[in-house]
């Protein structure tokens, strides 16, 4: 009886309560300076990271925790230990992914707490060309209109859309109540990114080049939105399945739609793409987000989500960002072990996985697989100036129009002028040319880069070469077309290395000095733009530049006659005149011969003196 009275007395006196309580504070943004009211309630503060802190507080006391990250955190006296999240002063959707060209948009900002309502928001446009902005509700709402669609010819079928071509407007909101300040950026896009493949995400609106599009065979029980607008249409699948569309000329397009998290991702199983999957495991793209988290190379990994994980931020497509928001799971702080802390469903969507490039829908039919070779696929991430300029440089180069002439897409010419012909010549994949209405697609990224196969640095293809002295894998790639061989070919590599000529009198090899061999092709040329920065020349040749000797002028090639580099003449001629003709062809096939190797170019010119002055008409 006495012991029961003692326990009751101790409880009434508060001895049964803990003297302290522990609170873990978590924030979306850096917490900054922390202040506790009343000050005497704080027993200990432990900074776990810029966005997380642990506080030991006196029990039984109502506490308010102030931070620079957002709204005050109120802890009632009777609340137990636990985790509390700092609500930001303002909340706003960071991305509006597909508003539409020329269409109005509105951004609504929500206050994180009642105290935030007393502030106001000022807006400014950082990039883009939206119409004049209309601010209302003390700046908590802003409205505008997206720019109109640029006037340009659209390719037939699914039109690729990159960060540089999606019509982006970036707005900055600055909230302040006089004492605190918080900034947020909002990206408003006219169109979602698109690879140009017929494999789509549910809810992804794509543009279709061509006119008169209509649905022929939709999947049972599913709906889509299709609207024609002159030379193009917009298609939005609202559910999964296969969709068959037809344009006004009766040409069919088969599309498939699925969520990223619904895709089986069993591409690497035995009997399918096991070898490609194995190569991809060692690929820096597949491990991109893993490295971001584990090493902290990106201070804020959220900046890399759009390109280092699957899916389009802002779309309910089952991609990484969509799942992250659905789970309401903040990213762990970067550092060793961070990847393992992600839920399995997020690890599955982390990195540039199969569906990031090939789409979450089903594998396209064979006659549609040419689209994976188009530069638009890689452009969804690598066409984002000013950081990523490679695609923009490529578009201005001769490679972008390498197969614009229909004659280059046929016969032996296709082996160097088309990406599908080149890969077929290498034995990488069977030729899958695009349909006639598509036309040329240029020598895109897949020509030189191999994300699924053996590769050197920067995913460059490894190709065999019979020419000695090429310093890098990139140079050997260039020489696979820019050197004379059984398929004809240009002769730039021959000139740089000083090889390939023939002594007219004896048939012995005619070789010469190779002053630029150590630099190779990419030592002077930008591999994407193909141009040469003059500063690369002056680094060795001084401000005067290299001395270029005069060479014979070969004049324009008559109509109907193949260009010099397109003539598969045999080097081992039976007489001096045939051998001289070979030297002339070797020299004429390199328009920059006098720069690539002045001494060897002059030697070839002398050895070509017996060659006919004009090329013959008709087939070579």
Which of 301, 332, 359 is the last residue in one of the domains?
A: 359
Same domain membership, residue 447 and residue 548: no
18: phi then psi, degrees, rounded to nearest 5: -70, 145
DSSP class of residue 120 equals: E
Q: Which helix (H) or strand (E) holds 537?
A: helix 534-541
Same domain membership, residue 168 and residue 123: yes
Residues of the chain above pLDDT 70, percent: 91
Q: Give the angle 551-555-560 at the CA atoms, nearest 5°.
A: 140
Domain count for the chain: 6
- Mean of pLDDT values over 509-528: 92
Same domain membership, residue 478 and residue 552: yes
Q: Is residue 50 part of a domain?
A: yes
Find tokens 């494999």 and name the residue. 199
Determine whether 229 is exposed, middle or buried from the number of CB atoms within 10 Å of its CB (0-12, 13-18, 19+): exposed
Determine whether 380 is exposed, middle or buried from the number of CB atoms within 10 Å of its CB (0-12, 13-18, 19+): buried
Mean pLDDT value across the chain: 88
Residue 617 reports pLDDT greater than 80? no
What is the pLDDT confidence band of residue 620, given thresholds at 50, 70 and 90? Answer: very low
Residue 349 reports pLDDT greater than 90? yes
Longest CA–CA span in the chain (Å) reads 127
Q: Which helix (H) or strand (E) holds 136?
A: strand 134-136
Same domain membership, residue 503 and residue 589: yes
Residue 13 reports pLDDT greater than 50? no
The answer to whether 24 and 86 are in contact (CB under 8 A) is no
Q: Is residue 453 part of a domain?
A: yes
Q: pLDDT tens digit string along 449-470?
A: 998 877 888 899 999 888 888 8
Residue 35 reports pLDDT greater than 70? yes
Same domain membership, residue 348 and residue 334: yes
As a whole number of angstroms, the distance between CA 278 and CA 261 comes to 22
Whole-number pLDDT of residue 569: 55
Residue 176 reports pLDDT greater than 70? yes
Q: pLDDT tens digit string along 60-104?
A: 899 999 998 999 999 999 888 899 999 999 999 999 999 999 999
**Structure tokens given for 232:** 């193009």
Same domain membership, residue 106 and residue 160: yes
What SS3 class is residue 55?
strand
Residue 214 reports pLDDT greater than 80? yes
Q: Is residue 1 part of a domain?
A: no
Which of 439, 462, 485 is the last residue in one of the domains?
A: 462
- Mean of pLDDT values over 244-255: 96
What is the pLDDT confidence band of residue 438, given thresholds at 50, 70 and 90? Answer: very high
Q: What are residue 74's DSSP bridge partners?
A: 64
Same domain membership, residue 595 and residue 485: yes
Q: Say how many C-beta atoms besides its own lie within 10 A of residue 45's C-beta.
A: 13
Residue 125 reports pLDDT greater than 60? yes
Whole-number pLDDT of residue 405: 93
Q: Is residue 3 part of a domain?
A: no
Whole-number pLDDT of residue 615: 47
Which of 151, 169, 189 is the last residue in one of the domains?
A: 189
Same domain membership, residue 321 and residue 180: no
Whole-number pLDDT of residue 8: 44
- Compute the residue count for the chain: 620
Q: Range with the lowest mean pLDDT among 130-144, 186-200, 433-447, 572-586? A: 572-586
Q: Is residue 42 part of a domain?
A: yes
Q: Give the angle 217-218-222 at the CA atoms, nearest 5°.
A: 165
Whole-number pLDDT of residue 334: 87
Q: pLDDT tens digit string along 223-241?
A: 999 999 989 999 999 999 9
Q: What are residue 176's DSSP bridge partners?
A: 120, 181
Of residues 280 and 127, more confidently modeled: 127
Q: Is residue 13 part of a domain?
A: no
The answer to whether 315 and 201 are in contact (CB under 8 A) is yes
What is the pLDDT confidence band of residue 568, given thresholds at 50, 70 and 90? Answer: low
Write the CB contacts of 604 (distance below 8 Å, at least 6 apart in sequence). Answer: 501, 510, 583, 584, 586, 587, 593
Same domain membership, residue 179 and residue 69: no
Same domain membership, residue 49 and residue 34: yes
Q: Which of 26, 129, 105 is nearest to 70 (CA)?
A: 26
Q: Is residue 383 part of a domain?
A: no
Q: DSSP for 399-414, please give it.
A: GGGTT-SGGGGSGGGH
Same domain membership, residue 81 and residue 35: yes
Whole-number pLDDT of residue 619: 35
Packing angle, helices 598-607 and 576-588, rounded to 10? 150
The answer to whether 489 and 498 are in contact (CB under 8 A) is no
Whole-number pLDDT of residue 11: 41
Whole-number pLDDT of residue 443: 96
**Structure tokens given for 476:** 């050997």
Whole-number pLDDT of residue 9: 41
Same domain membership, residue 117 and residue 63: no
Q: Is residue 14 part of a domain?
A: no
**Structure tokens given for 98:** 């597909």
What is the pLDDT confidence band of residue 556, given thresholds at 50, 70 and 90? Answer: low
Find the domain containing 312 and state its range: 274-359
- Mean of pLDDT values over 558-586: 72
As a whole number of angstroms, the distance between CA 195 and CA 377 comes to 4
């Amino acid at each position: 009886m006495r012991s029961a009275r003692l326990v009751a007395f101790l409880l009434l006196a508060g001895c049964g309560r803990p003297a302290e309580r522990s609170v873990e504070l978590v924030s979306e943004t850096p917490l900054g300076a922390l202040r506790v009211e009343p000050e005497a309630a704080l027993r200990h503060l432990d900074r776990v990271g810029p966005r997380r802190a642990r506080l030991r507080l006196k029990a039984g006391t109502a506490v308010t925790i102030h931070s620079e990250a957002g709204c005050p955190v109120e802890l009632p006296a009777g609340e137990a230990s636990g985790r509390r999240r700092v609500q930001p002063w303002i909340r706003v959707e960071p991305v509006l992914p597909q508003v539409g060209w020329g269409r109005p948009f509105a951004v609504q900002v929500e206050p994180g707490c009642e105290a935030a309502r007393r502030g106001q928001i000022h807006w400014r446009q950082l990039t883009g060309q939206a119409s004049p902005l209309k601010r209302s509700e003390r700046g908590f709402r802003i409205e505008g209109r997206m720019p109109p669609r640029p006037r340009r010819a659209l390719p037939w079928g699914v039109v690729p859309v990159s960060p540089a071509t999606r019509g982006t407007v970036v707005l900055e909101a600055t909230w302040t109540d006089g004492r605190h300040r918080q900034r947020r950026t909002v990206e408003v896009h006219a169109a979602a990114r698109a690879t140009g493949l017929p494999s789509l995400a549910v809810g992804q609106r794509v543009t279709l080049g061509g006119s008169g599009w209509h649905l022929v065979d939709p999947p049972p029980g599913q709906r889509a939105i299709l609207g024609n607008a002159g030379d193009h249409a917009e298609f939005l699948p609202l559910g999964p399945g296969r969709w068959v569309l037809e344009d006004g000329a009766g040409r069919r397009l088969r599309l498939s739609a699925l969520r990223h998290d619904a895709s089986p991702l069993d591409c690497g199983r035995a009997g399918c793409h096991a070898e490609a999957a194995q190569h991809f495991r060692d690929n820096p793209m597949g491990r991109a987000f893993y490295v971001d988290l584990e090493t902290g190379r990106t201070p804020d990994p959220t900046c890399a989500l759009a390109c280092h994980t699957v899916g389009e931020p802002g779309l309910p497509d089952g991609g990484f960002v969509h799942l992250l928001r659905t789970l309401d799971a903040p990213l762990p702080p970067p550092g060793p072990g961070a990847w393992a802390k992600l839920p399995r469903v997020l690890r599955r969507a982390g990195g540039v996985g199969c569906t990031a490039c090939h789409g979450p829908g089903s594998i396209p039919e064979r006659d549609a697989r040419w689209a994976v070779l188009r530069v638009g696929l890689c452009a969804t991430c690598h066409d984002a100036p000013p950081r990523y300029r490679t695609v923009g440089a490529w578009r201005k180069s001769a490679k972008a129009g390498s197969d614009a002439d229909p004659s280059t897409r046929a016969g032996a010419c296709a082996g160097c002028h088309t990406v599908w012909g080149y890969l077929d010549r290498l034995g990488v994949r069977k030729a899958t040319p695009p349909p006639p209405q598509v036309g040329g697609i240029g020598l895109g990224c897949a020509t030189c880069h191999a994300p699924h196969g053996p590769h050197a640095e920067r995913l460059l293809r490894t190709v065999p070469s019979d020419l000695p002295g090429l310093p890098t894998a990139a140079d050997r790639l260039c020489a696979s077309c820019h050197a004379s061989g059984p398929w004809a070919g240009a002769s730039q590599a021959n000139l740089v290395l000083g090889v390939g000529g023939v002594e007219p009198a004896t048939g012995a090899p005619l070789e010469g000095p190779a002053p630029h061999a150590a630099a190779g092709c990419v030592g002077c040329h930008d591999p994407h733009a193909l141009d040469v920065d003059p500063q690369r020349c002056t680094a060795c040749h001084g401000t005067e530049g290299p001395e270029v000797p005069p060479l014979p002028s070969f004049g324009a090639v008559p109509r109907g006659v193949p260009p010099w580099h397109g003539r598969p003449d045999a080097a081992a001629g039976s007489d001096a005149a045939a051998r001289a003709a070979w030297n002339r062809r070797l020299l004429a096939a390199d328009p920059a011969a006098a720069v690539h190797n002045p001494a060897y170019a002059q030697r070839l010119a002398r050895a070509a003196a017996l060659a006919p002055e004009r090329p013959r008409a008709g087939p070579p």
